[in-house]
Structure formats: C-alpha cells, structure tokens
Amino acid sequence: MNLNRSAREKLVRALAVAVIEHADELTSLDQAIGDGDHGLNMKRGFEAVLATLPALAEKSMPEMLKAIGMTLVMKVGGASGPLVGTFFMELGKALPEEPTRADLVAATGKAIDAVKARGRSEAGQKTLLDVLVPVQAIFAAGGDARAIVAEAAEAAKRTTPMLATRGRASFLGERSIGHMDPGSRSASLLIGAAVATLELEAGL
Amino acid sequence: MSNSGNVGIVIVSHSAKIAEGAADMVRQMVGNAVPLAWTGGDPEGGLGTNVAGILEAIELAWSPAGVAILVDLGGAETNSEMAVEMLPEERRARVVVCNAPVVEGAVIAATESSGGSPLTAVQRSAEEFYA
C-alpha cells in the first residue's frame, strides 16, 4: 500500500479539505452540546498542516504522519488537538515505511489505544472513539473501502442517541442525548477522505 | 526574586483572564516565594488551551523541586498532560497535573510550596479539595 510523493500530497490535502469544508457544520454540532469551538479548532489545525504541505509530502509516510500529528497537537487547541494529534503521531510511530494492509490494521489499533489512554476513555462515552473503534473493527475484519466509509458515517450517526459521559458534553447529562457528537463527525470525515484517497491511489 | 528551590505552580485555564486572576490571588498569598506562571486561551487568543502556551509556562515556573499544574476543564487537563509528555525525560517525572479546582488548588498548592514542601505534598494539598 505504497503512496508516492504525489499520492501523499493528495492524502493530506483530502484530509484537510474534508475538515475545512465542514468547519461550520462541526461548530454547529459543538454549539449544541459543547463549547462551540470544534470546527474552528480543527480548521485552524488542518490549515496549519496544509501550510507545510510541499515539505510534508517529501517525508516518508511514517514521518509525515508524525509531523501532521505534532502540528495538530500544537495548533488545534481544545481536547481535540491532543486526541486527534495523538492518533496521527502514534499511527506514524507504528507504521513501517512501506506498510501492508496488515501493518495498517495493526497501526490503527495501536493509535486508537493511544487515543483511549490520552482521553482516559473507551468507546460508548460519546466521543471520537465511537467512530474509531467500530470502523477499525470493520477494517481489521477485511472490510472494503465502501464498507469502511459506510461504517464511519453510521457510527457517527449512532452517537446521536448516546449519553455523553466524557468530554464537555458530559456536563449536560441527559441533554447531550439527541445530538451527534462533533468529534465523531470529524473523525468520520477524516476517515472518509483517507479511504477515498487510499482506494484511488493504493487500492485499499 | 522568586525562591527557585520551591515547587513551581502553573495555572492553566481556558480563559486568560481567569488564569491571570488566579495567579494574582496566589501572589497575594505567597508573594515571590514560589515560581509561578499562567497560561490561558487557544493559539489565537480565544477561549481554550494550547500545548505551546503550557510548555512555556512550565519553563517559566520551572524549579528543581518540580512543577504542579492546576487546570480548569477537560481540554486544559488533556493539553497539560500532552505538554508534560513532550518535556525532556529528566523533567517529565517532576511535573504533575493536579486533580483540583483551579483557583483554590493554585492558592493552597502555592501556600504549601512556599513552606518548602516537596511536590507530592504540594499536589496532595491541592487535591484535598476533591477528597
């Protein structure tokens, strides 16, 4: 599953565009049950990633992912910066330079464990883990691109009736029910963008 | 001059005004006996917290006795823990994020520190608010 320089650039651009184009939607989801900054924060982070793009794509896949993670940690702010940034950094640490699908399955598993540790959270608390965990399970079970993207969208929707027990939305208690989790939505957007590019460029 | 032998205190709030105000209250209690720094706001100055600001504050309040960080809400805690992990290894074990209310915790932790207490005692005094 090798991505050449141009494919790596497309991947980063796709991730950034997915977040930036949906910044208003993410903000309005966060206004309902959080502090209303998720769209703005994620947009700031991915704009900073885009700003380093030509140099970023020159790096190997693992180094590129680590650099994206570090930029997100430093620029996003909020809890999302360390959470999403940790995912990218750990993914980079766990991947070999020329990863197979099995490598990617193992590395996404490790990256998700790191997100759980960073947020001291598990799936079921109405956070991005409610997308990452089930999507990774489909990926690990051999699901194709369509199945992975479909699960990402469905998993984000399934957070709507959930009660938030972690993150700012947990302050609302039962009033968090009935709104999609913004972090789950951004995770599903990122997965959709990543999978579309990987399918096109590397035959996921 | 601050007494650099005492545990340093870092205040991290989503609001720069709260962080600065809490730091003012700490100074009123302990004067310059304790290294103290505060940070608040996202990278653009809006409400939020950011790792770079927290790293700077830890540097400012650094003491060989260690640093106790007081935080307000979840993002402040997550960003502070991230910042601690990014410190050089020899410093990492000497910085703690206290599970305590930010204002009360900062004042009591600084008071404890000003008496020369070690990091564990400073952390414990702040965390007694939630015990």
Give catalytic status of residue B19 as yes or no. no
Question: Are A118 and B43 inside 8 Å of each other by CB?
Answer: no
Average pLDDT over residues B23-27: 96
Question: Are A82 and B82 inside 8 Å of each other by CB?
Answer: yes
Note the CATH architecture for domain A5-202.
Alpha Horseshoe (1.25)
- pLDDT, one tens digit per residue, over A129-161 is 999 999 999 999 999 999 999 999 999 999 999
Q: Does domain B8-125 have CATH number 2.40.50.90?
A: no
What is the average pLDDT value for chain A, to the nearest integer?
95
Kindly indicate whether the ipTM for this predicted assembly is greater than 0.95, answering yes or no. no
What pLDDT score was predicted for residue B45? 83
- pLDDT, one tens digit per residue, over B71-122 is 998 899 999 999 999 999 999 999 999 999 999 999 999 999 999 999 999 9
Q: Does B89 touch chain A (CB under 8 A)?
A: no
Question: Are B47 and A82 inside 8 Å of each other by CB?
Answer: no
What pLDDT score was predicted for residue B4? 65
Domain locations in chain B as residue ranges:
8-125
What pLDDT score was predicted for residue B130? 75
Full-model pTM: 0.93
What pLDDT score was predicted for residue B3? 54
Alpha carbon distance B127, B26 (integer Å):
16
Q: Which residues contact A9 (CB under 8 A, 6 or more apart)?
A: A53, A54, A56, A57
B48 contacts in A (CB within 8 Å)?
37, 41, 77-78
